Amino acid sequence: MTSERKTAEATKGYFGTFGGSYVPEQLQPRLDELEAAFESAMADELFEREFTRLLKEYVGRPSALTYCANISRDYGGGRLFLKREDLNHTGAHKINNTIGQALLAKRMGKKELIAETGAGMHGTATATVAALMGMRCIIYMGAVDVQRQAPNVARMKALGAEVVSVTHGQQTLKEAVDAALDAYIARPDAFYLLGSVVGPHPFPTMVREFQSVIGREAREQFLEREGKLPGHVVACVGGGSNAIGIFSAFLEDADVGLIGVEPAGRGLDTNEHAATLVKGKPGIIHGFRTYVLTDENGEPSPVYSISAGLDYPGVGPEHAHLMESGRVTYVSATDDEAVDAFRIMCRNEGIIPALESSHAVAEALKMLPALSKDETVLVNLSGRGDKDLDTVLPLLGVE
Ligand SMILES: Cc1ncc(COP(=O)(O)O)c(C=O)c1O
């Protein structure tokens, strides 16, 4: 092997020093096969055409750009806009990625999809595309999340998926990923449909590609409506797929501020949060190098957020790079701030946001008063909050 090829291979799948593939030896050939299939699909105009057709006819894209007139009037300051991923079929951005990966699975001749899920939105989106494409579907979900996101468990079952409740460790998203990776290794014919820009190469690159439609649409819609780009783009960060999806179209626009919002749970000074970039350090988790929240033994630490889709002790490797390069700023919002933002979005705009997305709304509400009238904030409203009503209504004192 020439040293040039070695260098090219060593840097493949890396964002700065983050990313890569740190997996058991028997898994690497399957990831190589996946990468080759992805690259060939990307070069195939028919694949692109079918992906775009399904996004339009099945998902309902383009999703709307909504101006929040009431909040903008009451808070200030700057003007607030939402990119409405909550209006997609199945109610979140997750469907964009599952359509892309399921088409890839079909192209590879696969008949079984496995996936992890936290909030159940990715599980529901995976069960949906499995039904659409006639594939078997197994979803791994932490037992705690099975309880707190029950409406989505019912949806997955209605769609014909098997939901496996994972009962080890904290019984949330990290354990669901552990179980799905184990199943992927044990089932050589299955396709692992990963739900965020995490995991070993090529997943972060592939999921980014399938979610980049959010940013392309938002950029075009904003330019058409306002005649200029947004001043600030804000998105919540769990694994980081909705954030990368919208940020990707603005990375080269130095005047557009990009802000990722992590879950501060019960506070950054407690151990009950999942603010990986804000409080973690570089390490390896689930087969890739990124920032990780670790305990005193260097193991991924227990994490917590009111929002099942955000409580993960790692984060997409591109986010780690974007933080270190200074292009994106990462902040956090607490449970209380997210619940308050949820209430304000419901009562003032008639939109019920997912608790995950409410973290991004909370940051926008902090920003608006300090901005001038001609400044704008675009929030990626990654999903709808029907699934969260059992959690939130008691906190709002609603019987
Ligand atoms: C509505 C919604 N938003 C955001 C997320 C977080 O995922 P990501 O950071 O990959 O966008 C989830 C995860 O389940 C979700 O359901």
Quote the percentage of the chain above a pLDDT of 90.
Answer: 96
**What's the confidence (pLDDT) of residue 399?**
82
User: Do the Cβ atoms of 378 and 232 come closer than 8 Å?
Assistant: yes
CA distance 302 to 295: 8
Q: What's the topology of domain 23-56+94-208?
A: Rossmann fold (3.40.50)
- Residue ranges, comma separated, of all CATH 3.40.50.1100 domains in the chain are 23-56+94-208, 61-91+213-395
Pairing of strands 65-68, 79-84: antiparallel
Tell me the average pLDDT of the chain.
96
**What's the confidence (pLDDT) of residue 11?**
62
List, as one string, the DSSP characters of 352-373.
Answer: -B-HHHHHHHHHHHHHGGGS-T
- Please give the structure tokens belonging to residue 122: 């990715």
**What's the confidence (pLDDT) of residue 12?**
77
**What's the confidence (pLDDT) of residue 7?**
44
pLDDT, tens digit (0-9, with 9 covering 90-100), for 361-377:
999 999 999 999 999 99
Closest protein CA for atom 14 of ligand 1: 309
Q: Is 59 helix (H, G, I), strand (E, B) or coil?
A: helix
Phi and psi at residue 103, to the nearest 5°: -60, -40
Closest CA to 230 of 63, 371, 382, 70: 371
CA of 242 to the centre of ligand 1 (A): 7
Residues 6 or more apart whose CB falls under 8 angstroms from that of 37 comprise 104, 107, 108
CA of 25 to the centre of ligand 1 (A): 30
Best mutation site among 95, 194, 356 for ligand 1 pocket (most ligand atoms within 8 Å of CB)? 356
Query: Which residue is listed with tokens 């449909």?
Result: 193
**What's the confidence (pLDDT) of residue 76?**
79
DSSP element (H, E) containing 347: helix 335-349
Q: What's the topology of domain 61-91+213-395?
A: Rossmann fold (3.40.50)
CA of 4 to the centre of ligand 1 (A): 38
**What's the confidence (pLDDT) of residue 170?**
95
Q: How many CB atoms lie within 10 A of CB 282?
A: 13
Low-confidence ranges of the chain (pLDDT < 50): 1-9
Q: Find out whether the peptide bond into 202 is cis, omega within 30 degrees of 0.
A: yes
Rounded-to-5 percentages of helix, strand, coil across the chain: 50, 20, 35
